[in-house]
Structure 1
Amino acid sequence: MIIGLVAAWFLADTLGGEAGLVALGALMGVLLARLYRRIDLLEQRLKLLQPAPAPEAAPPMAQATPTPAAVRPPVPPPKATTTEDGFEDWAATLPPTLPPTPSPPRVADAPPAPAPPLEPDERSAAVTTSLAQTALAWLRGGNTIVRVGVLILFLGVAFLLRYAAEHALLPIELRLAGVALGGVVLTVIGWRLRERRRGYGLSLQGAGIGVLYLTIFAAFRLYGLVPAGLAFALLAALSAAGAVMAVVQQALPLAVLGFAGGFLAPIFASTGQGSHVALFSYYLVLNLAIAWIASRQAWKLLNLVGFVLTFGIASLWGWRSWQPEHFATTEPFLIAHFALYLYICVQYSRQLLRPDAPRGLPVVDGGLLFGLPIVTFGLQAGLVRHLPYGLAVSAAVLSAVYLVLGRWLWKRSGGQLLLLIEGLLALGVVFLLLVTPLALDERWTGAAWAVQGAGIVWIGLRQRRWWATGLGLLLQLVAAALFWDHHVRPADARLFAHAAWLSTLMLGGAALVSAWLLHRLAPNRPSDSASTPVWNRTPPAALWQAVHWGMLALGLLQLLSGLWAEVWHARWTWPRQNTQLVLLWLASAVVLELTQRRLAWPALRLPARVLWVGATLAAAGGLLDHLVSPAHQWEQFTRSGGWLAVVAVLATGLWLLRRLKGSPGDSHWLDRATGAERLLLAWFAMLQGGVLLHALAHTQIGSHLAWTALAPIVVPTALAWVLLNRTGPTSPWLRGLHAPWLVLLVLWSGLVNLGHSAAMTPLPYLPLLNPVDLGHVLALLYALRLWRTAGPLPSFWQGPAAGLAAAVAFAWVNAVLVRSLHHWSGTPMWLEGALRSDTVQMALTILWTLLALAAMLWATRKAGPAMARAVWLAGAALLAVVVLKLFFVDLASLDTLRRTVTFLGVGVLMLVIGYVSPLPPAASAREARP
Structure 2
Amino acid sequence: MQKGQNEIRIIWLMILVIVAVAAWFYDQHIISYICGLAFVLSVMQYVDQLQKPIPDMSRQANVRVQLTSKVPLYISSIIAVIGISMQWSWLIGLGLTAWIFFFLRWLRRLEVYLSLIEYQLKKIQQHVPDLENEPIPHLDKTQVKTSLSENNQDNLGLAEQIKHWIFQGNPVLKVAIIVLVIGLILLLRFATEHWQLSLALKLLIVAGISFAISLVGWLMFNKNRSFALALEGLGLAGLFLTLFFAYYNHVIASFALASVCFGIIMLITLWMSLKQHTIELAMMAMLIAYVAPFTLPVRSASSVEFVAYYLAINLAVAILTTLRPWKILNQIAFLMSIFISAGYVYLHGYMHERLQLAGLVVLHTLVFVWLSFRFSQLIAKKDVEEFKLKPALDIALIFGAPIIGYIFLYLIYFHESAWQAGFSLAFAVLYAVIYYFAKNNQSIQLISQSYFSLMLIFIALIPPILLPEQWSVMGWAMEGALIYVFALIRQSTISRYLASGLLVVAGLSSFYYYVQLDEFPRLMFWTLSLCYYVVVVFSNSRPAFQKQLSTMTTIFQALLMLAASSMLLVLLLDQFKTENQFAMTMLTISILLLILNEIMLFCKAGGQWFIAKWIGVIPVFVLALIIVLDHSQNGMIVWTSTFEQIGIAVSGLLLFLFWLRPVSSIRFEKEALSLGALSSLSLTSLCLIPSMPYISVVILPLAFAAWCFWQKEHEDWNRFWQARSSLALMLIWIVCSQLFTVQAFQGYLLPILNPFDLVSIAILASFIWMLSLQLKTGLDRGIVAVLIVLSLLWLSSYILLRALHVYLGTPYNALELWQDATVQLSFTLLWVSLALITMSYASKRQIRSMWILGGSILVIVTLKLVLLDLSHIGTLMRVISFLGAGTVMLVIAYIAPIPELDERS
- The two structures share one fold, judged by TM-score above 0.5: no
* Bigger Rg, which one: 1
Higher relative contact order (CA 8 A, sep 6+): 2
TM-score, scaled to structure 2: 0.40
TM-score, scaled to structure 1: 0.39
